Amino acid sequence: MKINKKELIVGNTAYVVTKKYDSDQMKQVYHIVPAEIKKVGRKYITAIVQYSDQEYCLKHDGVIYEFALKNKTSGANDVLCLSKEDAKKHILKQNLLMEFRNKRFYENDCNLDQLLLMKAGYHYDPTGPMAEHWQKILEYEKDNY
């Protein structure tokens, strides 16, 4: 995720996406929790999440999430998104990656739009006559998750 540090203001609300086991559904489920940005440093953002401080990496050290920042200690189970829309997109992308796990796609291999097109089973040609139609389908999928 590319971050403009001017967007990061102490006191702003961000959203943490956590992945926890739900015994009712018997699977891992994503939750969106609001957090407050406490400090913005060179390498890390500190956010207050449910009364405790958590640090999130600004510098990339492996996996680069399209819509989120990785937690310094818990990694992929706990990520910070700067808006609620980004949090929903992150969850959607992670669910699609799980759906395509037998194809061995990883976070850095493709973006959300490409995954949505693969799910739809179509090849996207931006110069073709159907480009506008496919764009509307993509917008609909993003908005209705």
How does DSSP assign 9-70, residue by residue? -TT-EEEEEEEEEETTTTEEEEEEEEEEEEEE-SSEEEEEETTEEEEEESS-SS---SS-EE
Length, in residues, of the chain: 145
The single residue listed with the structure tokens 């959203």 is 15
Domain encompassing residue 52? 5-83
Residues 50 and 67 both lie in one domain: yes
Q: What is the pLDDT of residue 128?
A: 63
At residue 85, the pLDDT reads 93
Mean pLDDT by 10 residues, the chain (145 residues): 76 91 85 94 90 86 81 82 92 86 73 79 60 70 69
For residue 73, the 8-state DSSP code is: T
Question: What is the count of structural domains for the chain?
Answer: 2
What per-residue confidence (pLDDT) applies to 145?
60
pTM (predicted TM-score): 0.73
Same domain, 79 and 91: no
